[in-house]
Amino acid sequence: FIGCSPFDDYELTTKLGEGTFGEVHKAIHKSTGTLVALKRVLMHNEKEGLPITAIREIKLLKSLSHPNIVPLSDMLVRHEGAGSTQAPSVYMVFPYMEHDLTGLLENPKIHLRLEHIKLYLRQLLEGTAYLHASHVMHRDMKASNLLLNNAGRLYIADFGLARSFNPDERKDMTKCVVTRWYRPPELLLGERKYTTAIDMWGIGCIFAEMLVGKPVFQGNSDLNQIDQVMRICGSPTTASWPGWRDLPDCNQVVEFATYARHVREEFVRFGEDAADLLDQLLQLDPKRRPDAATALKHRIFFTAPFPARPEDMPKFEHSHEFDRRKIRHQ
């Protein structure tokens, strides 16, 4: 990884996505013909240079190396014309992937079978186990941050909220992480000394979403999100989640309706193994969720239908969340 390449080494083609993070474009590396994705670093205040979140993301990605973590292959700086007062644009360069998981699940022409889901789930857990062993929390696990290619490989992407941590000291961290539909109950109640268990909750939500075909907890506010979670995962009690009443935002929450837990009953139609693993991942008490290395030993991966082999995966049509949004808008 040497310096930055000139922007002219690449030719932009189509836009793949846009959001608060900036824009993502598909491009071709002119000399090799390799397809790449260019993610523009959004400059909110040019005078201060690169945002700290971008520096953190670049630094983290360059320190990680795993088959299921998206690799940062290059950096680009695009200078505006001579005399321009505009700051240069900075891009991160990643390999192009044909899909993100949200786009795949929203494509009505695509149906994931259980063996496909098991393959993707196993790769997601392998990448997460590596992250957590490297003392990195992703902090934004969601379907649209998982990239997939037509060779059957899944990549964890978008490390804009990720951070390294020291497992020996539990420091206060911001609770403003994780997209609401994938946010675990401890964050919804204001926990600041959270652990890697927040990523495991997100993996539970993603696994359920792959089975059902849509996100399972679609809250329209933080309070409504807590209610959606508890309708399936049950209301917290001192037995199911010791210490939950001591969480900072607990006093801001009106008394919950009393719900019984029925995670197994909700998902048993996808098989006993799927229901059992989801029951473990979607525990209200973060201490009761398995870590990624433990989840990889679950019997779901060792019973029929076995996880598909990457080379046996069907070649799906290119499906990105941005494309599905455009189609819906039209």
Catalytically active residues, by annotation: 140
Residue with tokens 């959606």: 228
Choose among 116, 118, 112, 129: nearest CA to 300: 118
Choose among 178, 83, 95: nearest CA to 140: 178
In the beta sheet, which residues pair with residue 154?
148
Residue with tokens 């979670």: 229
Cβ 312 vs Cβ 151: under 8 Å? no
Cβ 324 vs Cβ 104: under 8 Å? no
Cβ 80 vs Cβ 67: under 8 Å? no
- How many residues appear in the chain? 330
The maximal CA–CA distance of the chain, rounded, in angstroms, is 67
* Ranges of H-type helices in 134-196: 185-188
Cα-based angle 188, 177, 318 (whole degrees, multiple of 5) = 115
DSSP at 155:
E
Choose among 156, 130, 206, 164: nearest CA to 56: 164
Cα-based angle 322, 69, 172 (whole degrees, multiple of 5) = 90
Choose among 295, 291, 251, 257: nearest CA to 276: 295
